Structure 1
Amino acid sequence: MTVAPQFPHQPRTTPGIAAATADLTKVYGSGDTRVTALDQVSVGFREGEFTAIMGPSGCGKSTLLHCAAGLDTPTSGSVRVGTTELNGLGDRQLTQLRRDRIGFIFQAFNLLPTLTASENITLPLALAGRKPDQQWLDRVVAMVGLSERLGHRPAELSGGQQQRVAVARALASRPAIVFGDEPTGNLDSRAGAEVLGFLRDSVRELGQTVVMVTHDPVAAGYADRVVFLADGRLVDEMAHPTPDRVLDAMPRLNGGGR
């Protein structure tokens, strides 16, 4: 299990909503195979805040994350990032929005093995034809402790170091919001705690907005807020979570469904 955070939660003021869903519904299949993954979920993710999404296995956590990040298309309802509604965007516009305003951290790192850490971090910017803000990039690299590893390829890095590269890549373009889908799921407790600490620091020190799916109450304890899903519906939320409070809340959630 991930090591618990060793810092108090700090009260913060947040100027607005980085992303939001309204009556978000996602249905897969039809007839006997129809599955409602999300059932009219309305939730906002505040700027400069670290939000964790939790719930039983198959409750729709990752589906919510993917729809909010523009990686999946809702059946009905709406998603917006800042003031931009995703529903009306074409494929090219959606690709540009994801590239310019959204960072994503996957459980499986998703690094290119032939590129160095530095090249992996700046790859999205290179694909967009943009030069990195070197001062910002230096801050991000220093925060995740990669300054001495930038010339190494993924095979020369530990799992924790590879996920640090993935975190730096997600932050490199200064996105409006960073989404993480079980970003510590493939890491041991020490490496997981480091990555969660970096995400926490990106919120506290860099003003980043982070939304993370996790099943781990200890990981959720790094967040400012936890929202709970069950059977595809938003059923509860908790401010200033601690691992013990989250653990106590989990048995009250309904099981079953997606």
Structure 2
Amino acid sequence: MTTSTPSGTRTGQRAAAVAASATDLSKVYGQGETRVVALDQVSTQFHRGEFTAIMGPSGSGKSTLMHCMAGLDSVSSGSARIGDTELSSLKDKQLTRLRRDKVGFVFQAFNLLPTLTALENITLPMDIAGRKPDKAWLDNVIETVGLSGRLKHRPAQLSGGQQQRVAVARALAAQPEIIFADEPTGNLDSRSGAEVLGFLRNSVRELGQTVVMVTHDAVAASYADRVVFLADGRIVDELRSPTADAVLDLMKRFDAKGRTS
């Protein structure tokens, strides 16, 4: 195990089980003059019980990487795995089942059904799958995200921050192997965003969850155990135990390289 300083230490990976991994993963859109290489032979691992943030400038490939790793988009070449399962080897129904049973999602848009209560939205994926939630786990999740007093409210009766808490609880409720969060605080004010990030942080620390979050926000990234930086479809650096200042300093260096190249 490597140790790191509060100011953010680069590289070094902890000995832990791998929740998801990419090996020489490439994603190409279009052909000929319209051909765009969104990911260029990316290799990385996301460890169990760890919070990883993915950062990079617009067009760097961070959302594409998350979508490929979550089975929401196909890969052009290379490997994307959830645990030991190679996603490209799965047929559509198998991939749907894997996403339902092993992956949780939190998006910038809360994606709640307006006619359902908070509790009904939280348990909806399990209801669709015909599974009953583990009551003790569900109670623990609801307490972790601070929704005990809002379970009978519908989305229109909740603030943006509360709606995103429902979305986080929904992702956690089925006890997935990994949660992917795409700009989860993008539609929230700073206070609500900090609350949601705190809940994601607590889900890792207290519930043993694995979280991978795409963000452009250095403060959001500082909640993570590790930050992976992409540029032009490639991983160019990483930080452990990041602070917002350390993340900003590294981003500025990438910016400077881009302007002078």
Give the TM-score, by structure 1 length.
Answer: 0.93
Residue 40 of structure 2 corresponds to residue 23 of structure 1: no
Give the AA of the match of 1:20. Answer: S
Q: Which residue of 1 aligns with 2:129?
A: 128
Which secondary structure does the structure 2 equivalent of 1:87 belong to?
helix
**Alpha-carbon offset, residue 32 of structure 1:** 1.1
Deviation at 1:15, TM superposition (A): 3.0
Query: For 1:197 and 1:255, how far apart are their aligned partners in 2?
Result: 33
Which amino acid in the other structure matches residue 227 of structure 1? V
The answer to whether the 8 Å contact 1:14/1:49 transfers is: no
Alpha-carbon distance in structure 2 between the residues aligned to 1:144 and 1:200:
11
Partner amino acid, structure 2, of 1:26: K
Contact 1:14 1:48 (8 Å CA) reproduced: no
RMSD: 1.7
Q: Is the 8 A contact 2:7 2:242 kept in 1?
A: no
| Other-structure match for 2:227 | 226
Q: Which residue of 2 aligns with 1:75?
A: 76
How many angstroms apart in 1 are the aligned matches of 2:153 and 2:97? 29
Structure in which a larger fraction of residues adopt helix: 2
CA distance in 1, matches of 2:147, 2:21: 33
SS at match of 1:140: helix
| 1:120 to 1:155, Cα distance in 2 relative to 1, 3 A | same
User: Take 2:191 and 2:252, find their aligned partners in 1: how far apart are those partners?
Assistant: 27
Instruction: Normalising by structure 2, report the TM-score.
Output: 0.92
1:75 counterpart letter in structure 2: S
Superposition map of 1:88-127 within 5 A: 88-127=89-128
Taking the aligned partners of 2:110 and 2:155, their CA distance within structure 1 comes to: 10
Aligned to 2:208: 207
Q: Deviations over 1:132-152 (max 9, x none)?
A: 000000000011110110111
Is 2:163 aligned against 1:162? Answer: yes
Residue matched to 1:45 = 46
2:237 is equivalent to residue 241 of structure 1: no
Q: Deviations over 1:213-236 (max 9, x none)?
A: 000000000000000000000100
After TM superposition, give the deviation of residue 252 of structure 1 in Å: 2.0
What is the number of residues matched between the two proteins? 248
Distance, in Å, in 2 between the alignment partners of 1:46 and 1:87 is 21
Judge conservation of contact 1:231–1:255 (CA < 8 Å) in 2.
no
Alpha-carbon separation, structure 2, partners of 1:255 and 1:118 = 47
Structure 2: runs of 5 or more not aligned:
1-5
Residue 84 of structure 1, CA deviation: 0.8
Match of 1:148 in 2: 149
Percent identity between matched residues is 72
